Structure 1
Amino acid sequence: MLEHVLVLSAYLFSIGIYGLITSHNLVRAIMCLELILNAVNLNFITFSNFFDSHQLKGNIFFIFVIAITAVEAVIGLAIVSSIYPNRKSTRIN
């Protein structure tokens, strides 16, 4: 079970890194960053349940990363919405 979750997490992380490196669109880059953070969250929960199921350290880190992810998405989309009327594009240069 642990190996399957780690392979899934590595796959999500790889897709996120590839998309972040090759993306020219700011919205797509934000979505790829979300994939990376979700892969990290999956690892936090998996290792927390596998190694120490009585303590909730991985679950607490999961909640913090979800909060950071939500704030990052809100700030990123606010930047996109403020830049778009002037530049008429969301491309990253």
Structure 2
Amino acid sequence: MTVKEAQTAYNIKTKKTIRDWILRFKEEKVDFYAKIQPQMAKQKSPDKQALEKALQEAELKIKALNTLIDVAEEQLKIDIRKKSGAKQSKK
């Protein structure tokens, strides 16, 4: 709705009144979100907790696999990891 439409719809004499309302509403909205945001950050939803747990497990798995590869390379004296920039052999 435009300012002109609001002026006509609500029988308001000046556009300035509507602009003042819009400005005040924007400030109230910002204040409201500023108050709500920290509260929302403190609360952990079950989904967020599950995702954080899955992330920790995935990071642990990656660390374990990297350690396994390191030990295998050291003990077996072979390169397991792909070297960056290595070219594929042509058949």
> TM-score, normalization: structure 2?
0.37
The structure with the largest alpha-carbon Rg is: 2
For CA contacts below 8 A with separation 6 or more, give which structure has more relative contact order: 1
More helix by share: 1
